[in-house]
Chain A
Amino acid sequence: MTLATVSENQQWAVADVPDSDVAPAIVLSRVTKRFRGDEARPAVLQDVSLTVAEGEFVSLLGASGCGKSTLLSLVAGLEKPTSGTVSTPGGRAALMFQEPALFPWLTAGQNIELALKLRGVARKERRGQAEHLLERVHLAGQHGSRVHELSGGMRQRVALARALGQEARILLMDEPFAALDAITRDVLHDELTRVWGETGLSIVFVTHNVREAVRLGQRVELMSSRPGRFVRRWTVDIEGPRRIESAGVAALASEITDDLRREIRRHAAGADTEVAS
């Protein structure tokens, strides 16, 4: 097992792809994002560049307000950057939220079918495809279940199936397991790893849980808050299957946690100087 710190630079060149023989799926180039009416504070994202390779699993880590979610919204096309460019050579992106955000007026299966319908899948094929997607997340036979009849973990798996139903090659995940209990989260980590292995999706996984970031990602990107920037990057190079409690995960996580804490402390210092000036 090796812990490799790739670089401590604040910005990455556009061509800085970890596996340079693999085509990029997502390219953010010198992106700055400010929201209207919020110009007085530092930018949510400040001159940020990021490249995610085809089939790569990247964990975005940072404290609250570091623009992680904003970054995902930009990639998903829900927001436009103030400056810089966002491109997704990997095609459209599916997005999962902390809440499963299933529509309660539809059954589990119908939620997936709606995604298929909006993608233009023919009516008679939708049912079968939805059943198949439910099987993929080990929810065979739950097509007719009402959303409120499912547990939190099951709802999030239906949401995963719905995201897979979009046939996007990019999956963006915004703290999708943050509201789940530890056991369920652990199982969903396995589930997500498995699905990623089967599909080869490019995944950007936003979290504020360091161990989760290390457990899942091939690469962990640490972000600072206000202005939101990439501070440091780690390549997770742990042999064999990982668990949240694996020694390798714990070792790297504790190193990253030190950096994360330093970032957070810097904000306290920053606040002091602002008061002083």
Chain B
Amino acid sequence: MSIGTFRSAHSAVVDDDVAALEAGLDALDTPTRTTLPLLARMRRSVLPPIVAVLFLLVVWIVLVALHVKPTYVLPPPSDVWATFLDYWQKGAVQEAVWNSLRRAFVGFSISVVVGTALGLLLAQSRFVRTAIGPLVSGLQSLPSVAWVPAAIIWFGLSDAAIYTVVLLGAVPSIANGLLAGVQQVPPLYLRVGRVLGARGWASIRYVVLPAAMPGYLAGLRQGWAFAWRSLMAAELITFSPELGTSLGQLLQIGRELSDMTLVMAAILMILVVGVGIELLVFAPVERRMLRSRGLTTGSST
């Protein structure tokens, strides 16, 4: 039997048919995707949190109206708002938010660099993983405020002390996130990569890192939360006029003046900024990535 004749007899008949058949099957089998109109999506995703916030405000107002506690302990929302406006007009709010955000940004950026390098090292070397893996995980559960006294003794009341605390808070989360992401890469992807000719760095660059992206992003997101939290703890304690106004410092001033309205205004600002960055930066990036990989349904988020 000659391979050549066998092949040509074979392919002549099927050729035209296959294309049409495949086109039909493709049309029938392709998963369909439905997207809700913008208004309906807004109603689904924006309405519930607004309702929740309004509900909490009502509870707050009712508690104040019932005189559960004296107003210097539990001030009404209107007084907190008045204090906020007062500090806003003095420019203290803007300066505090700017200073804290700047530090958070710088601290988080350094944490990303260090955490990513550490995560890669942990993922690549079994020795390093066995040696310091448990330590890195352990650091995650150590409240970073515990580092503040040490940082102050090492670096004095300075930005360096604050950044030390932020890094110790954020780096373990980022490193662990990347490590978890790498460890969850399906072995099949690595095999495919090798068959395609990806070895060594090419395998890491084109297969491992993109495949580990969901875990890494989750780590970054958690790292941001830890960085922000650690920053507030550090700013609260590392109190010095040279460091300028910051959100943590507003809290401390409120405490010293026994001004509950300022304390609550500062808490709310810390919350709003932290949640705002989370919602405006991390949530959309993560959602986009998961959706492009088909890991979420497009409309239900």
State whether A194 touches B1 (Cβ < 8 A): no
- Distance in angstroms between the alpha carbons of A198 and B7 in the assembled complex: 9
- Contact residues in A for B207 (Cβ distance below 8 Å): 103
In the bound assembly, the distance between CA atoms of A104 and B293 in angstroms comes to 5
Contact A138 B29 (CB under 8 A): no
In this complex, which of B26, B191, B195, B294 has the most chain A Cβ atoms within 10 angstroms of its Cβ? Answer: B195
Q: Write out the residue numbers on chain B whose beta carbons fall within 8 Å of the beta carbon of A101.
A: 188-189, 191-192
Contacts of B294 in A (CB 8 A): 104, 146-149
In the assembled complex, which residues on chain A have CB atoms less than 8 Å from the CB atom of B12? 241
> Contacts A149-B33, A166-B196 hold; do A78 and B210 have CB atoms under 8 A apart?
no
Is B23 in contact with A138, judged by CB distance below 8 angstroms? yes
* Chain B contacts for A50, CB-based, 8 A: none
Q: Are the CB atoms of B211 and A99 closer together than 8 Å?
A: no
Residue of B nearest to A55 (CB): B3
Question: For chain A residues 222-269, which have a beta carbon within 8 Å of chain B?
Answer: 235, 237, 239-242
Knowing A146-B294, A218-B6, A241-B10, say if A194 contacts B15 (CB, 8 Å): yes
Kindly list chain B residues whose C-beta atoms are within 8 Å of the C-beta of A22: 3
Chain A interface SS verdict (over half): mixed
- Which residues, 246 to 295 on B, are CB-close (under 8 Å) to A? 289, 292-295
Do residues A97 and B18 form an inter-chain contact, with CB atoms below 8 A? no
Are A150 and B30 in contact, CB atoms less than 8 angstroms apart? yes
Least CB separation from A191: chain B residue: B18
What B residues does A191 contact at CB under 8 A?
Answer: 18, 22
With contact pairs A103-B207, A241-B9 given, residues A235 and B29 touching in the complex (Cβ less than 8 Å) = no
Across the interface, which residues of B come within 8 angstroms of A106, CB to CB? 210
Q: A153 and B21: CB pair below 8 A?
A: no
The residues in B between 1 and 31 inclusive whose CB is less than 8 angstroms from any CB of A are: 1-3, 6-15, 17-19, 21-23, 25-26, 29-31
- CB pair A218–B21 under 8 Å, yes or no, is no
Closest A residue by C-beta to B33 = A149
User: How distant is the Cα of A255 from the Cα of B194 in the complex, in angstroms?
Assistant: 38
Q: Are A105 and B21 in contact (CB under 8 A)?
A: no
Q: How far is the CA of A114 from the CA of B196 in the complex (A)?
A: 8
Closest-CB distance, A237 to chain B (whole angstroms): 6
Q: Is the CB of A103 within 8 A of B210?
A: yes
Extra A-B contacts (13), CB below 8 Å, given A95-B191, A105-B213, A237-B1: A56-B3, A97-B191, A103-B210, A105-B293, A118-B198, A138-B18, A138-B19, A138-B23, A149-B31, A157-B22, A187-B21, A190-B17, A235-B1
8 A-B pairs whose Cβ atoms sit less than 8 Å apart in the complex? A104-B295, A114-B196, A118-B206, A146-B292, A146-B293, A149-B33, A197-B11, A241-B13
